[in-house]
Every structure is written in C-alpha cells, then in structure tokens.
Copies of this chain bind each other. A is one copy, B any other.
Amino acid sequence: MFEDNLPKTSLSELGEFGLIDHLTRFVKTHQPTTHKGIGDDAAVINHEKEQSVITTDMLIEGVHFDLAYTPLKHLGYKAVMVNLSDVYAMNAQASQITVSIAVSNRFPVEALEELYAGITLACDTYKVDLIGGDTTSSRSGLVISITAIGQVQTDKVTYRSGAKPNDLLVVTGDLGAAFMGLKVLERENEVFKVNPNAQPDLEPYAYLVERQLKPEARKDIPQLLEALKVKPTSMIDISDGLSSEIIHLCRNAKVGANLFEEKIPLDPAVISVCEEFNIDSTTIALSGGEDYELLFTIDQNDYDKIKGNPNLTVIGHMTEEKEGMHLITRANQKIPIKARGWNSFEDANDKE
C-alpha cells in the first residue's frame, strides 16, 4: 500500500523517540477523564464512573490483514474499532486507548503516518483519547496491539454470563457483510496478480468492502439501550461469527438457545454476492466473523421497548441448557449450532 508516489523517509532517520513525537503530534484529547496522555512513563486517568473496563487485541500482518488490499489508514481505523467493539459489548463507553506498533524497516515513516491517520480519525470520530503506546521495530511485518479503556456505572456493566431461559436473543445491524467483502477483495487481488492493468469495479460491492475495511463499532447501542431503559442480561460482540458468540453466551450462562434462520438480518448485498460466490448466506452469517455487531439477551418483558427499532433484530430465544443450541431452519429443521468462527492457529483458508 505504500509502493506509490508518497515521499519515503526511513524510520531510522527519525529514531524511536522522534518517530513517536512525529506520529502523535496531532493527537487531541476529548475525555475529561484523561488527566495525562502521551509523554510520560504512563498515562493518568481520572475516574468519573465507578468502574473501568479494559480490553486488548493484537492484529498481525499476514494473519489478520493483508496489505495487498488493506489501505493503512483503514487498517488503523479498524484496529481501533476491533477494541472499541469489546468495550461497547460491556455496555460501557470507550474513553481511552493505547497503541503499540512494531514495524519493519521496509515501512517508510509516511506509511506509519497513514496508519496513524486512521487511528486518530477513529479516536476523533468516537471521542476516544490516544494516551500512550510503544513504537518499535520488527524483523518482518507489521504488528498493531491496542488496549482500550472504558467507563461504566456498576449497575450497567453487562457480562457474557447473565442470560436466562426464555430471554430473547437480539442482534444489532446485519451480519455476514464483512466476510463477503473480504471474499470480494481476495478475488480482485487474484485478478490483479494475473493482470495488473485490470480495473476492478467494486461499486456493486461498496457496502461489503466498507464493512470489511472500515467497520464501525456500535457506540450507539449502549446509549440506545440506556435511552430505551433496557439492561441486557448478557452481551458480547460478534467478531468471530454468530454461532461462536451464541455458544459463548450459552456456555457462560449455562443455558441453551434457539436461533431462527429466517430472522437473521442480512443486507441484500450479502444475499446477492453469496449467490454470485455460490455460498450459503446463513453459513456466512453464522461463521463469517468481523461484523463487530453486538449480540445480547433481554428479558421478555423488555420486548415492547425494543420492538420495531431498526437497529435491533430478535433472532431467537434462550432455553434450558439441556435443550442445547440449535438453528431452526426455514424448513423448520433443527440443526445443532457449532463454533466455526475464526481460529488464527488454523490455516486462514480453512475457516469457511
């Protein structure tokens, strides 16, 4: 992504401290809780809410992203989203992040500037403060490790473990688009390798590609739930695919679940591109991953509060544990739900 006409400044020209200063020179803070950001041994955070949540995720070149079709600015943005999504999944609001980056000498400073442009765009958009980090060299490839901190009132924290039988299973947004966006990008990359002059027409796939390259975390959902006066009984973010996350909610709460295939929200673009690729769209929603939507359970008594909200879809309900976890198909067949989500230790090509 940086083999273009950008000027190239080698990392060693700036040195480690110079690089950090250079990359963070435009960092602004938004949060009253950020007492001291970048520039000391550690950042200092004040507490307004009773509790903090903290989460961390690492993205590795060649495992989680391929720079052949991932612009660095998008990558920086997405790396922040991956972490914020985990904060929102606690029903908390994200307030700060730290960013550590390891990068080989093949990256010029300008490439890191692009990456940081994406990170700071995400911070500005989500009103999250970049308060620290580490920048170092790697022997090969790019590694991004982000830790996100959020603030939450004690009575609002939502774990993976609180679902009860008969609770409704609710998902935000729609599923499967990010995975099909990846499929489209991989296909275009193969075409490009054969014919570098081919001009891909990604227009029909714009939504899918955007969901893959520039996902948005659901900051709005904890706010919406508060406005609706709904406290979910459990919540998790959908990073590994719907099946895997349903299994987490069930195992943590020792309950079962029935998921109704016909209720799974799919964008029309997902349905049409699944036909084009000859892939079953339900399978993609169940196992595709990277949707960064939220999956939660609510008490049935709260149904009226969420009914008809375009952000929320009831896709099933929880059951007694002994009833197991099942997908109820459109043909009314009952199929056990198995985890087929992302496992970075398997060959990435095995994951479908």
Contacts and interface: CB of A to CB of B under 8 A. Distances in A.
B43 A55 contact: yes
A98 B56 contact: yes
Contacts of A54: 42-43, 45, 96, 98, 131-132, 147, 149
Interface string A138-169: 11110101011110100001011100000000
Interface stretch (A120-128, A174-182, A273-281, A343-351): A343-351
Interface residues of A, number: 74
A346 B105 CA distance: 10
Interface in A14-39: 14-17, 19, 35-36, 39
A3 to B, nearest CB: 20
B56 A47 contact: no
**Copy total for this chain:** 2
A249 B46 CA distance: 24
A208 interface: no
Nearest to A55: B42
Contact of A89 (B11, B42, B237): B42
Given A60-B136, A100-B58, A137-B60, A90 B157 contact: no
A345 B19 contact: yes
Interface in A259-288: none
A239 to B, nearest CB: 9
Interface stretch (A61-69, A184-192, A301-309): A61-69
Interface string A316-352: 0000000000000000000000000011111000000
B345 A147 contact: no
Contacts of A312: none
A222 interface: no
B16 A57 contact: no
A41 B89 contact: yes
